[in-house]
Amino acid sequence: MAYQQPELLYPENALEPLISARTLSFHYGKHHVAYITNYNNLVAGTPLDNLSLEEVIALTAADPQKIGIFNNGAQAWNHSFYWNSLTPNGGGEPSGELGAKITQDFGSFDKFKDELKSAAATQFGSGWAWLVLEGDRLKIVKTSNAQTPLTSGQKPIITIDVWEHAYYLDYQNRRPDYVATVIDNLLNWEFAAENLRAAL
C-alpha cells in the first residue's frame, strides 16, 4: 500500500514569520514529497508493499541492501511526525501529566529546554533532535540523517528537524536561533501529551 502524505494541520503560512511559507512550500511540498515518492517507488511490487511504513522501517533498519528503502521510509515518517510537532501559537510550558513528567525526569522545564537546545545545536550535520520515552523515562536524543528513535525501542514524543533545509531560507547558518524559536513558540505540546499518554 502506498504511503500517503498526511495533510498539514495548518496553512503553509501559519508559522510566519518564524518559519516562512517559502520554507514550508519546499520542505513539505518538495523534500517530504520526494522521500514519499521514492519510498513508494522502491517498495512497489515487493513483499514490503503489504506492510505499514512503521513495519518496513523496522525490517529494513539493519539491512544494508535496503538502505534506500530505509532512508526514504524513515524520512517520510520523521517528517510526518515533525509537522505535527509544530503548531501556530505553540511553545510555552506544558501542563498536566507531560509537564509533571518533564519536571520529574529533567529536574525542571528550563533544564529540559537547555538539553533539547544543546542536542539540536550539536547534532553534527543533518539530523533530528527528539524527546522520547525510553522505558518509563523521558530523555533527549539526537539522530543523524534518516535515523529514527523507532528503531531503538524508544517512543517519540516530539521532534525538531535540524537538516539545513528546515531553516536555511529563514535563518541561514543560525541553527541555534531556529531551534530556540521552535522551542519557545512552535512546539505542539498537545501532540506531545497525546504521544506520552499512548506510550505509557
Residues found near Mn ion in the complex (CB under 5 A)? 161, 163, 166
Calculate the alpha carbon distances from 67 to 53, 59, 64 in Å: 14, 11, 5
CB of 71 to Mn ion, least distance (A): 12
Contacts of 47 (CB under 8 A, 6+ apart): none
CB of 175 to Mn ion, least distance (A): 13
Q: Which C-beta is closer to Mn ion: that of 163 or that of 191?
A: 163
Question: Facing residues of 160 across strands?
Answer: 129
- The residue of the chain with the least Cβ separation from Mn ion equals 161
Of 3, 2, 18, 10, nearest in space to 183 by CA: 18
CB of 166 to Mn ion, least distance (A): 5
CB of 165 to Mn ion, least distance (A): 5
Q: Which C-beta is closer to Mn ion: that of 19 or that of 102?
A: 19
Q: Which C-beta is closer to Mn ion: that of 163 or that of 189?
A: 163
Q: Which C-beta is closer to Mn ion: that of 106 or that of 163?
A: 163
Of 126, 119, 137, 96, nearest in space to 182 by CA: 119
Q: Which C-beta is closer to Mn ion: that of 102 or that of 187?
A: 187
CB of 187 to Mn ion, least distance (A): 16
CB of 41 to Mn ion, least distance (A): 19
Q: Which C-beta is closer to Mn ion: that of 161 or that of 170?
A: 161
Single-letter code of the amino acid located at 159: T
